[in-house]
Amino acid sequence: MKLKKDSTEQKLRGAYYTPLQLANAMVELFAAQNIDRVLEPSCGDGVFIDSMYEKNLLEEVSVFTAVELDSREAEKVRKKYKSTKNVEVINDDFFNFYNQNSEDNRYDLILGNPPYIRYQYLTDLQRESLSAILTSHGMKANKLINAWVGFLVACTQMLNDTGRIALVIPAEVLQVAYAEDLRFFLSNQFKRITLITFKKLIFPEIEQEVLVFIGEKGGDEKGIRIVEMDDLDGFSSLDLDSNGYQPIQHVKEKWTKYFTSPEEIEIIQQIKNDTRFAPFSDFGTINVGVTTGNNAYFSIDEETYEKYNLAEVTFPLIGRSSHAHGI
């Protein structure tokens, strides 16, 4: 496990910038919408402003507010758009910006790629702010929750009644236990939710699977859908108003079930309710595997086990699911 003092500045900031192609695709989804006020909660190098500028959309909004914690990056973006009067760059922690503006400012569109920062890398003040944001919206705060969760919740609250949000977030939102409260919160906040997943890594340098979360507050139709793409080229055929939404179930269950059709979900539910079937938990314990922090060191092979006579200090370990044949 890396300690905070041994981690890179990039990792501490969670600063993995959005590719221009992805920013362009996300901006293009809202090009035909009536957008007046835009917020980017962690602007980094300003790629979403660049995209709106290139597509001649920046001049159509009354204000584009860009918040950035890093003073150097904020100054670069500020200088780049110093002659663009409707762009305001704020050098501040977004949690602090939220605390000062959440009551008064509402936005039509919020775009961005919030930082991926583990709880232990946050400052004490950031931890307090993150916890306050979550608990004030009926969610539990714990040390597993990443900074991006707080960003998503805070941004959701800064939308107006018909606002839209599009954020690049880790794909783990679909299933991890610590996001249960978040999934429940989002399903109650948005009329429609689109989750865009990718078969190819968008950020190969960090080997982190991401998705684009799109939430829409306005409209009569209510539902959720998952759109699977091979890569960023798939955006060219995406229509937010097309059919394919499933009813949102306001529960904390994993969203991976929405990869299946409504008919398949109904069959699965029937099987779960059928007393002729028994859950696997009746026959065995299902739990998260061991996390060693360094498998190459702590997980040994049979040769090492026998060579050093380690019977009294070792336990059997299934290193990966492929080792458990038949399960």
What is the pLDDT at residue 272?
Answer: 86
pLDDT at 4 over 60: no
Residue 206 is predicted with a pLDDT of 62
Per-residue H/E/C for 144-185:
CCCHHHHHHHHHHHCEEEEEEEEEEEEHHHHCCHHHHHHHHH
CA distance 62 to 108: 11
pLDDT tier at 202 (50, 70, 90 boundaries)?
confident
Give yes or no for residue 162 having a pLDDT over 80.
Answer: yes
The residue whose two tokens read 């950020």 is: 203
Sign, Cα dihedral of 201, 197, 56, 107 = negative
With tokens 């100054």, the residue in question is 75
pLDDT at res. 10? 46
pLDDT at 325: 67
Give the predicted TM-score (pTM) of the model: 0.79
pLDDT at 13: 45
Q: Are 66 and 40 in contact (CB under 8 A)?
A: yes
Q: What average pLDDT score do residues 245-257 get?
A: 84
Residues 51 and 81: their CA atoms lie apart, in Å, by 13
Report residue 5 as tokens: 């003092």
Classify 211 in phi/psi space as left (phi over 0), alpha (psi -120 to 50) or beta: beta
Top mean-pLDDT range of 10-14, 198-202, 271-275, 287-291: 271-275
Residue 248: per-residue pLDDT: 84
Q: Tell me: the pLDDT tens digits for 90-147?
A: 999 999 999 999 988 899 999 999 999 999 999 999 999 999 999 999 999 988 899 9
Contact 33, 164 (CB under 8 A): yes
If DSSP codes are grouped into helix, strand and coil, which group holds residue 132? helix
Name the token pair of 261: 């059709």
User: Phi and psi (nearest 5°) for 209?
Assistant: -75, 135
Q: Which residues have a Cβ under 8 Å from the Cβ of 199 and sit 6 or more positions away? A: 228, 229, 230, 231
In the chain the domains, ranked by start, together with CATH numbers, are 4-259 (3.40.50.150)
